[in-house]
Chain A
Amino acid sequence: MKRLFFASAVAFLVLAAASSSFAHHGTAGYDMSKTVTLNGTVTKYYWSNPHVILYLDAKDEKGQLQHWSLEFAAPLLMKRQGWSSASMKPGDQIVAEVHPSKNGAPVGISGTATFLLKFTVNGTELPHL
């Protein structure tokens, strides 16, 4: 099964700029001017405060498997967007837009109280802003 990682890294200016986005910690660690699209497999979906975390495996452009951690808003805020703890499970195929970390670590943010990027599970799109 294809698990392609393509760092489209299209530098489209993000509407939710760092100063206006909100998590319980801000977005200082992320490059909010970049968005990459990950294509991978869920290894763990952690529905917990202070933020929902998705762990997934995705291959980079060299075919190397990377273990990504994606941050989302708090569970209550995600619930109000239509997500739930049952939205995905290990093994599900994911296509996720992500603002990556500034330091190149496979860590990113895909949602806060002010934005929620495009996200599909097994071909079905979840609600996003």
Chain B
Amino acid sequence: MQNRRIIPTGPALPILRMRWIGTYAVAVSLLCCSSILLAQTTAPPQAAKPAVARASGSVPDLSGNWLIAPGSPSWDSADPAGKNPQQLAMTPWAREKLAAAKPPFGDKGTFDNPNDPVQKYCDPPGLTRLYGYPWQFTIVQTPANVYILFEYFHQWRLVTMGQPHPKDVDSTWLGDSVGKYDGDALVIDTVGLNDKSWLDNVGHPHSDALHLVERLRRTNHNVLQLDLTIDDPKAYTKSWTAQRTFKLSSDPMGETMCSLSENEDFQKSIMDRTVPGTPAK
């Protein structure tokens, strides 16, 4: 992989002035020392402050632990509760995938043998679905890369700054993400995703042609806004957008893992016993 590090031209955050040994060293140190780093990036919630005014060319500060609010299983802004997941403009391929999905969420949620790939197999949730679980994530900005670290699965994302996508990107769970700053926003462009994950908790599918654009900006000190553009011609007949906001949290980052053995235990102890129509026991 080519060296993609860049040096910001404007005023930068203190963390940006750190000397980075290299992409992998940074990633390893982040993962090994996450509790220390995350504590340092945590800011206590305060009364709403205006976003800090920045000089032209500077880097917006997106640091902090951001709490994902629960309660909207679908990315469809017209149907956040997932009452009519089929109403999005889908291709026949996507409609077939959605029809086969048996999610445990939304109005059509079931406890009867759900086939949610996260719950059933502990598959990685995928980029958009990581924003659908009620835990925290944190953003670490360096000149070369931005790292987004999620409590859920302890999954981390790499966003390479100021570079184009490599040619012939392989399809992976997290794809290839490149980023740039646009005013007060971090804009992340992702391609190269496999089609094994769902977009959201009600089972909206996506294909390996998914092109995802995330725009993250601080609307005030305590609120981070995500504007998402989903362009997937194999799955949706037109691109569509969605939006979520996240609150700054004073809680340190914690651990929430997906363990197949624990999930199976829970399925047998709780979920299988509550399936309507089965004998009460």
A-B contact pairs, 19 of them (CB 8 A): A20-B81, A25-B271, A26-B73, A26-B103, A26-B109, A29-B270, A29-B274, A49-B256, A49-B259, A50-B262, A53-B266, A53-B269, A75-B256, A101-B280, A102-B276, A104-B280, A105-B274, A105-B278, A105-B281
Q: B interface vs A, CB < 8 Å? A: 70-71, 73, 81-83, 103-107, 109-111, 114, 116, 118-119, 133-135, 151, 201, 251, 254-259, 262-263, 265-266, 269-271, 273-281
Is A51's CB under 8 angstroms from B274's CB?
A: no
Contact for B111 among A25, A69, A74, A106, CB less than 8 A: A25
Interface residues of A in 97-111 (CB under 8 A from B): 101-107
Interface string of A32-55 (1 = CB under 8 A from B): 000000000000000011110100
A19, A30, A77, A79: most-surrounded residue (chain B CB, <10 A): A19
Measured CA separation A3–B118 after assembly (Å): 39
Measured CA separation A79–B266 after assembly (Å): 19
Closest chain-A Cβ to B202's Cβ sits at a distance in Å of: 9
Which residue on B lies nearest to A48, using beta carbons? B262
Which residue on B lies nearest to A105, using beta carbons? B280
Contact for A19 among B107, B258, B281, CB less than 8 A: B107
Contact for A49 among B71, B82, B116, B258, CB less than 8 A: B258
Measured CA separation A71–B265 after assembly (Å): 13
**A contacts with B: majority SS:** loop
Give chain A's interface residue range (CB within 8 Å of chain B). Answer: 20 to 34
Is B105's CB under 8 angstroms from A26's CB?
A: yes
Which residue on A lies nearest to B270, using beta carbons? A71
User: Does A62 lie at the interface of the complex (its beta carbon under 8 Å from any beta carbon of B)?
Assistant: no
Which residue on A lies nearest to B83, using beta carbons? A19
Is B262's CB under 8 angstroms from A29's CB?
A: no
Measured CA separation A51–B114 after assembly (Å): 17
Is B135's CB under 8 angstroms from A28's CB?
A: no
Is A102's CB under 8 angstroms from B274's CB?
A: yes
**Residues on B with beta carbons closer than 8 Å to the beta carbon of A113:** 70, 134
User: Does A2 lie at the interface of the complex (its beta carbon under 8 Å from any beta carbon of B)?
Assistant: no
Measured CA separation A30–B276 after assembly (Å): 9
Q: A76-B151, A103-B280, A114-B70 are in contact. Are A28 and B258 (CB under 8 A)?
A: no
**Residues on A with beta carbons closer than 8 Å to the beta carbon of B276:** 29, 102-103
Is B262's CB under 8 angstroms from A101's CB?
A: no
Closest chain-A Cβ to B55's Cβ sits at a distance in Å of: 37
Q: A22-B70, A22-B71, A49-B258 are in contact. Are A28 and B111 (CB under 8 A)?
A: yes
Closest chain-B Cβ to A77's Cβ sits at a distance in Å of: 7
**Residues on B with beta carbons closer than 8 Å to the beta carbon of A76:** 135, 151, 254-256
**Residues on B with beta carbons closer than 8 Å to the beta carbon of A19:** 81-83, 106-107
**Residues on A with beta carbons closer than 8 Å to the beta carbon of B258:** 49-50
Is A29's CB under 8 angstroms from B275's CB?
A: yes
